Amino acid sequence: GVSGRGAISAAPATLLDSQGEQRVSAWAGPWPVEEHWWDTARARRMARLQVLTDAGRLVLLALEGGQWWLTAEYA
């Protein structure tokens, strides 16, 4: 997870998705994002993290509501 101050609780070790499980060889972030903080009905908090796997995949992950999501993959 990521704390309210943007600190990650543990270094990412593996990426598990529809392509299988891959070890994380490098990562950057997290970057906390607060959208619409001025509007409580639309307010949204998340954190983003870039991950490079040992297979050479570079992906952007987002943590929102306690769940990690793969939001983008770089070519």
1-5 contact pairs (CB < 8 A, 24+): 1/63, 1/66, 2/30, 2/32, 2/47, 2/63
Q: Is the pLDDT of residue 49 over 90?
A: yes
Q: Is the pLDDT of residue 48 over 90?
A: yes
Q: What is the pLDDT of residues 2-13, one digit of tens each?
A: 877 777 888 999
pLDDT score for 18: 92
Domain residue extents for the chain: 14-74
Q: Is the pLDDT of residue 20 over 80?
A: yes
CA distance 37 to 72: 24
pLDDT score for 10: 87
